Structure 1
Amino acid sequence: MTPNPLVEFLASYGPQASSNNLYDEFVVNAAQKTGCAPLEIEQPLIDQVIKWLQELSPKSIILTGTAGDGKTYTARRVMEGIVDSGKAWGSTEKIFEVAYSPASQHTLCFIKDLSELKESEKDDVFNDICDALAGKGHNTYIICVNDGHLLKFFRDRGEKGRVLHQRIASMLRNDQQLDDDLHFRLINMSRQSHRDLFERIVEAIVSHSDWEKCHGCPVLTSQEQPCPIRKNRDVLLQKDPASMRARLKDMIRIAAADGEHLSVRQLILLTVNILLGDQKPGKELLTCHKAKNRASRNEYNVTNPYANVFGENLGERQRKQYGAFSVLGEFGVGYETNNFFDHSLLWSSSCLPVDDIYGDRIFSVYLKDYREDPSENAYRFRRAMLEQRRRLFFSLDSDVANVRDEPRQNPWNLSVFKYGATYIELANQAINTKPIPLSIVKPLIRGLNRMMVGEMTIADDRLWLTEPSGVYLGQAVPLLITHAGRKVDGTTYISFPTIEEDGKAPILRLTPLQREDLAVDLHLRPTLVECILRIAHGAMPASFSSECRRDIERFQLKVATAMNQASGEHQPQPQEISMIAGRLQNHPITALTEEEGW
């Protein structure tokens, strides 16, 4: 059997000590060494940067973001697209110039990593960079640098540098690409759409042309003992809503909205580990030879992609080194469950999706042993149940009729985000500028009311606003709303503004007395939405309450301030709230007098 060199090439991106996945140039060398075509990930930004550089007076480009977001890769592809100068990119030069003047006399100066320059080298190029950023001179810079090093570069270099430091810091905070007074574009690559990026990464890997080199391998054509690498590839090739690819895109989107950024490097590493992960002691990734051995011995339990996706082929310490596994591990997939899923697994219910390799073939052995001797085989059986729950999580569609009719069957019940599907629908509606359905708005309002007034009210047709102390603000509230976005002249109302990127959290915006300049936003992070909806449905999850309670209290304080500003001299008298039959009522507090100065 001749090994497919693509497997070795992909391993260079994987989570192993010998891999060089940290640097773009190392991966280019790995492609040349193995004879494989380079891994080309579709990046629309590349074509856009080339167009910008072809303008009559091109602006400099600063590519920033966290480590591993593809800054060097993007810059290399831009240069190759303009001058086809791949050899220059592989040189040892830290800065190199490319004569480029189709429409101007500008020279392109590429800095592969500003942080790698010595301080003396930074001093040498500082004034020229400042001139280029101000639109002076004949050099156009393409600079790759992490956020922190970019700011430090300018902050450490006198008054001239500190001015630029302040402007760039403001652009980063406000997610601005352009400054009217400066001649450069600041592109924060950490703000890219994680969801779309992951789709392109998976497609580039599973559709790589060198998979054709598996042709002729005897393991490839075996029906009973198929190659585990190809089997795992088949799992990732699926694109329908009931697939690992689709569910991972939702998880990455939720993590991003909760502030957990996954870089390009981590997403590639994750995809490779799903394909090649191996739980057998020794190296963590499969080779073609090891894959053949696993298949011949029917050891598919150690190549399970539903375990690899969480880094189960790695030791705990090693797993924690990689952001992808840490972030996905926080979802608790498989550790959460309900009676429907466990009963269906125990009794092989026909309502669950079938997997001829990673389903019954590996689970039936553990189930049989457990039934024969529960005390002896309990631990291994629990692990097998965990992996089957994970398989179901990635194999069920949360938006089909039987799941909508019976929420217990929703695969998100197998994670800590039991309302994950609701969050995704909320985010989709917000990004597509569509009205949020009442089936989402009403539970949100009910949960917010319960958190703000401290009562298990059923009120979901209006928002009862209190200060954090529980004091009702008066005649201007509650907000009389029947659906999101309804405006009545002179009233206070809530709305759900459009969000620009699917990696950002939706927003609930409260506009006091139609004073849009005083509007207050509550960012509906996935964790906060989960907390609100659990409380709306009767739970009081202690694990969420501390973090989310602070979010609600900040919102209450901001709203109280905005309402006072909007009301002006006509401040409402304090009211108290009482609950009767689950509904809220307000009453004046007569014990207080005006002289007491509430």
Structure 2
Amino acid sequence: MNGLASVEHGSAPPSSAWVRFLRTYGPTPNNLTMFDEYVAGAVGRAKVQPIALSTPMLDPMKAHVASEKPGSMLIAGTAGDGKTYHCRALWTAMGGDPRAWAAKGNIKEHRLADGRLAVFIKDLSEFNGEESDAPLARLEKSVLGGDDTEIVILAANHGQVLDRLRDLGRRQGRNHPLRKPLQEFFLQAGQEPERLAVFDLSRSVGRMALEEVVAAVATHAEWNNCARCSLKSDGKVCPIYENRERLLGVGDGAQLARRLGDLVEIARLNGQHLPVRDLLALCANMILGHRDAKDGLMSCGEVAGIQEQGAVDRASVYGNAFGANLPKRRLADRPVFKAMSAFGVGDETTNGADGLLVYGKDDVKLAPAFARLIGSDPVYGATPRLLSAQDKYLEGEEAARIDGGAAAFMDMLQEQRRRLFFTLPLGEDGYPFWSMTVFRFAGEYLEMRAALMEKKAVAEAARGRLVRGLNRVMTGLLIDNVDRIFVASSGGFTQSRVSVLCDTEAPSRRVNGVGMAIKIDPKTVRPLLDVSLAQGAGNSVAFDLTPVRFEFLSRVAEGALPGSFSNECLGDMLAFKAKLLRKAELIRGRSEEDDEEEAGADGSSLTLNFIDIEQGGHGFSRPITVRISE
């Protein structure tokens, strides 16, 4: 604990039981409250009100049961999505006895008013190997066997239910008939199997889930007890309460929560699934995190020692958002902190931001901005420790250059960059906050997606940058065109980095059914590029535009070399180009069949379109006819 003592002055602080309970949701080495089965016991021991989260799929589940539709129900998702939580809520809503649910046993039965027996299988993972055969047989009997006497309500992870069905089918010498349709439903958003209602909780997690978790934690009634706590009286700053207030939006109009939501949304759109369990761990860590506390998470008993040592700033809510209070090993074990650390906040920066942080206090031109953006926050901004380390560093004191002094100051700079990401006002001239992440164009991506969702036009700057990036990847040339898209090849090898032969070209904006359109994919709810090479259905190729692919194209458009940013993205783009080349070949083949004269008069010449670049970067295709000798 680095010498940080747990001190109790007189009676325990009034919110200590609540903070202890909240701590169990955080990324501790053994946080059993992550699992719904342990929540009731933890609440009883702490004698506090539980954290109440909505069950967004409960109403449609209740409606399905009330409709008396034949068949059964699968509550699916990944670990931490709230499958057992929903299952328990449905049991209670249907009149099930909470004491019966809490009793031992993974299968619970309840007779419904319509005569059916509701069979709840709380968690398929609780069955080892062939133990799951019996409950799966009951599911199959209801879904495929036409048995309407039971409705089986099964909670299971995606991969787990598919694996168990595959193993069951193998032991029975067949391909289980439920496995393939379920796999298509999970992976390709296909149709759910007949007589099996599937409620996939993994599709309901996103920004709205984070907002609900933040509200449930930060507005919990137990915080009212802090009003009579001595740890926040007489001008003292309690880091736990301070972090809670900041997460709640006090003082910044909820900007911290909005930026946090942006990060979670970008991670989700990149394909990273952050279940509710992880979002609870994130919020608990943001409020309770401290680098010197036991397990990196504060208790009320440690706050007095933190205050006495002048170490409140080491509980910065902004660093805690990225797990700066946790050892690297524990960070690697938590998907939410792996996702957050992938943004590089703290490591990425700009010259302007670092100049402000290092020289702003003493520079006449920078001093007003320093006072406004850093000096105005004495708790986590211009703290005595930061200002002292800054003076020693700038004055060149030997102690600041050796024995880790410079490293300590660099660590403080990293912490201040994280704080700036969350606190810089929107539109702050000279200090763009997204430039302090690896996703410098994430703001434009979110704006483009919001515009598409609202059926509005995409900003011309974003569209033009996308087209410029596409052209530079397709050709390997520094082309600045934003009016057309060149689909180029090198004469046979589509994966070539430099391609100067223009196979075909299309307008950068869809006109009369030809050209590029930017739209929302209804399955992924992400933007996609749809490039049509000819009028009519089946003549276009779509490209899923994730945030990282948008970043790649934007960086290339601004001058980055494709391979220096992401070889994976480059491979994806070259595969997209190959599909366009193949589509163009198919269209030409159909055209030649319709009009044989276009195939060439006698086959003695060949016309190739070479891409040339004019001064200023404008590219154009120049036809060259080559005579073929016999």
Structures share fold, TM-score greater than 0.5:
yes
Query: Contact 2:70–2:148 (CA<8 Å) still a contact in 1?
Result: no
| Match of residue 385 from structure 1 | 413
1:395/1:383 Cα in 2 relative to 1: closer, same or farther (>3 Å)?
same
Q: CA-to-partner distance for each residue in 1:19-70, whole Å, 9 max, x for gaps? A: 2134111122111111111111123212221122211325522122221111
The alignment's TM-score, normalised by the length of structure 1, stands at: 0.91
1:88/1:536 Cα in 2 relative to 1: closer, same or farther (>3 Å)?
same
Q: CA-to-partner distance for each residue in 1:156-202, whole Å, 9 max, x for gaps? A: 223666121112112112124633xx111222222224211111111
Matched residue type, 1:460: V
| Match of residue 148 from structure 1 | 159
| Match of residue 458 from structure 1 | 480
The alignment's TM-score, normalised by the length of structure 2, stands at: 0.86
- 1:206 to partner: Cα distance: 0.4
Query: Contact 1:21–1:265 (CA<8 Å) still a contact in 2?
Result: no
Give 1:137-536 correspondences, 5 Å limit: 137-157=148-168, 158=172, 162-176=176-190, 178-179=192-193, 182-223=194-235, 225-238=236-249, 243-280=255-292, 282-346=294-358, 347-348=360-361, 349-351=367-369, 352-353=372-373, 354-361=376-383, 362-372=385-395, 373=397, 374-376=400-402, 377-398=405-426, 400=427, 403=428, 406=429, 408-467=430-489, 468=494, 469=496, 470=499, 472-474=501-503, 477-481=504-508, 484=509, 486-488=510-512, 492-500=514-522, 504-536=525-557
Whose radius of gyration is greater, 1 or 2?
A: 2
| Match of residue 117 from structure 2 | 107
Matched residue type, 1:137: D
1:149/1:410 Cα in 2 relative to 1: closer, same or farther (>3 Å)?
same
| Match of residue 33 from structure 1 | 45
Gaps of 5+ in 2: 1-10, 362-366, 593-598, 600-606
1:115/1:593 Cα in 2 relative to 1: closer, same or farther (>3 Å)?
farther
Gaps of 5+ in 1: none
The count of aligned residue pairs is: 576
- 1:512 to partner: Cα distance: 2.5
1:210/1:128 Cα in 2 relative to 1: closer, same or farther (>3 Å)?
same
| Match of residue 26 from structure 2 | 14
Query: Contact 1:242–1:394 (CA<8 Å) still a contact in 2?
Result: no
- 1:518 to partner: Cα distance: 3.6
Matched residue type, 1:394: F
Matched residue type, 1:190: S
1:518/1:191 Cα in 2 relative to 1: closer, same or farther (>3 Å)?
farther
- 1:355 to partner: Cα distance: 1.9
In structure 2, what is the Cα distance between the partners aligned to 1:371 and 1:577?
A: 54
1:229/1:188 Cα in 2 relative to 1: closer, same or farther (>3 Å)?
same
Q: CA-to-partner distance for each residue in 1:222-278, whole Å, 9 max, x for gaps? A: 43x211100000111018677221111111111112222212211111110111112
Q: CA-to-partner distance for each residue in 1:361-414, whole Å, 9 max, x for gaps? A: 24223212323424132111111111001000011244x3xx4xx4x4210111
Matched residue type, 1:585: F
Secondary structure of 1:350's aligned partner: helix
Deviates more, 1:20-29 or 1:6-15: 20-29
Deviates more, 1:509-518 or 1:310-319: 509-518
Secondary structure of 1:156's aligned partner: helix
Percent identity, please. Answer: 28
- 1:593 to partner: Cα distance: 4.1
Deviates more, 1:189-198 or 1:120-129: 120-129
- 1:98 to partner: Cα distance: 1.2
1:221/1:42 Cα in 2 relative to 1: closer, same or farther (>3 Å)?
farther
CA RMSD in angstroms comes to: 2.3
Secondary structure of 2:622's aligned partner: strand
- 1:297 to partner: Cα distance: 3.0
In structure 2, what is the Cα distance between the partners aligned to 1:234 and 1:299?
A: 19
In structure 2, what is the Cα distance between the partners aligned to 1:226 and 1:314?
A: 22
Matched residue type, 2:134: D
